[in-house]
Structure 1
Amino acid sequence: MESILKKMRVEVNSNLYLKEPFSSDLGSLIVSEGTQMIQDMGIEIFTFKKLAQQIGSTEAAIYRYFENKHMLLLYLSAWYWAWMEHNLVFATSNIKDPYVRLGVAVQLMVYGPSCLENEYLDPKLLRKLVVNESIKGYLTKSVDAEHESGIFAQVYRFGERISSIIREINPSYEFPKTLVSTVMESSLLQSFNSLHLPGMTDAGHEGTERFQFFHQLVLKAISNA
């Protein structure tokens, strides 16, 4: 599985970019160095001017690939969720028991991808960026138009796969999408809190406490319906 995923380039909505980044060495460099710089300094301080200086190019060249830094952040977030979907599909492909598949899904949501190598983007770095920065890409006035353009398709698809497992376990449960999106968002926030605001969580960055909390939360919700 890992050898297949390592060489896989995930597909994201084409509305996220002006030119496919991995179609050229410059585009690949923009994405890889941009990921590192956004994680290091935050999206607020990051600029295309700083990225151009880092990679020895021009701002104009970067703007041929992405409309602005906001779209680059959304592109990276979409790439992460598409990667997570591939991880989920491969990790559960031979598991018949839906409860076991649900446990795998919760573990992925809580701790991030299980396959941590890819030739195009570093999943470990992407995970850090999503924990620290991704919410800044969603809470904007442009989110409705972006939703209409389909650029959140990857996160929807990942969530829908997990929702389908919940419906398989309990077809009468009324809120599978709400439950899954709550765990997706809250698990990222709790991971952030464990690193930066430890007084806001009972679970440390290491250990199994966060998985136990969210796993129990999901199982109790769908079993008490």
Structure 2
Amino acid sequence: MMRKHTRLIGWAAAVVVIIGFCQLGRWQLQRMHEKQALLDQQLPARAQTLGLADAQAAPPQLRWVEDHGSFLPGTLLLDNQTREGRAGIKVYQPFRSDGGAVVLVDLGWLPMPADRTLPTITPRDGAARIAGLLAPPPATGIALGLALAPAPQPGVWLANRMPPGEVAATLSLPPRSLRSAVLRLDPALPGGYARDLDLLPNTMPPSRHLGYAVQWFALALTVLIVALILEWRSRRRSPR
């Protein structure tokens, strides 16, 4: 009786572990498909140019935007952004088009020194023409601590993440005026800092997610095989 009870507990534990590994594998596959779908949108997005307001009103996907307007006061420095293996920050500034649409513009990347002294930022101001890719913001990891903290330089905030509502309130923008998508400024335009149109900075490519999914499913299969072997051995040892 005790042996049968132990076997049931063992199988219950094995089933729980197998289901957990399979769920992790499914999650990795889901992330792979999401990222591949994003990459697949990049070329079609360049084929059609929209104004900022039209791009924001369209269904959420990559859009190539060209518009005219003015940069607004306030600068965000998004922390924990890597480029070519170096740690740094991304510089964002709000922009309002002549049609009234508002977006955070990615002005580029700056290195963060070892002592984490924030660089002095020269904000953009006045009328400007923008062009770039309207895209999701960079990945920022687990949401811990404050989203925004004031930097020593007036009008500059260090950001761990950029929730649109909090950013709008911090930058004294009208409520709900900001969307989650940001404008990845065309690297060919003058001004700003080091930048590109890489859609998956600081994150894994689809192929890496596939590799991890295979590993999780393989672990689930391994647990099942081990459980079957143990069950077979237990039955052989049981008195007939």
Normalised-by-shorter TM-score class: under 0.3
Larger Rg over CA atoms: 2
TM-score (normalised: structure 2): 0.23
